[in-house]
Amino acid sequence: MAEDSQMKLSGLTDKVAIVTGAGRMRSIGRPIAVELARQGCDVVLVGTGRKPEHYPPQEQQAGWRDIDSVADEVRAHGRRATTAVTDISDADQCAALVDRVVDEYGRLDILVNNAGAARGDDRVAVVDLDPEVWRKVIDVNLTGSFLMSRAAIPKILAGNVGGSIVNISSIAGKMFGPNTAAYASSKAGLQALSAVMARELGPQGIRVNTICPGIIDTSRIDDMGRGEAWERTIQAMIPLRKAGTGEDIAYLTAYLCADEGSFVTGQAWNVDGGTVVSH
């Protein structure tokens, strides 16, 4: 779709946004960062500093450069971009990142807590779950969002114009499937954290929402395979009979940060093709 045919939202021009977990080529974080730039935001792209030899084959073949490649895409929309390697489970690093953003840009308006622990050794029964693996998932998915929010909130408030925090959760935090104890707990906790912050910060003009993606076709789920097994999963789980894209999450993120979403806070939005139906 040509850019000039895409919806332009209100109130995002010259806003400054931090997006964590923004460096993967096939992802949710990259489309969020690019869409916020297209809507007029300057974007700070946060990554883990992963080594190129650990990139998926598709990224290696493309000459991908993690958050630096996404920064180029942000700048192609005429917006400023800053890259930052940060361990979001470390309070001091989160605080230093937010201070750097305000020093460089003079403001902070939007925080998107998108960084998440990769699928891996946590997908086992509780009795088989290594406590260190549990802690890592909780530290990245929940504690990292808490620490980033804790650091960012005073800076957003200092602007006296309100702002928006969007936490990227998962329908796993509502479905509670077997062998997902750490992941589901972290995402359910993130939804609770978002709701509490929405109540606390609403009177001060900061809106806090959660997006709960379903099956989104990114590199993080490549271990599910493709072909017939993939199609059977899609047909069985998703009423719309297709996987989502990172752009599906990006469009809603931009809406929640824009003036058009100004009366929405404290909500956990399912973007899942109808997998989870709530009332």
- Positions annotated as catalytic residues are 183
Q: How far apart are CA 213 and CA 37, in angstroms?
A: 21
Is residue 111 a contact partner of residue 146, using CB atoms and an 8 Å limit?
A: no
The residue written with tokens 């909500």 in the block is 267
- Sorted by sequence, the CB contacts under 8 Å of residue 111 that are 6+ apart come out as 17, 18, 148, 149, 152, 156, 163, 164, 165, 166
In the structure encoding, which two tokens stand for residue 99, read together?
A: 């201070």
The HSE-up count of residue 89 (CA atoms within 13 Å, CB side) is: 12
Q: How far apart are CA 29 and CA 45, in angstroms?
A: 9
CA 53 to chain centre: 24
Is residue 21 a contact partner of residue 70, using CB atoms and an 8 Å limit?
A: no
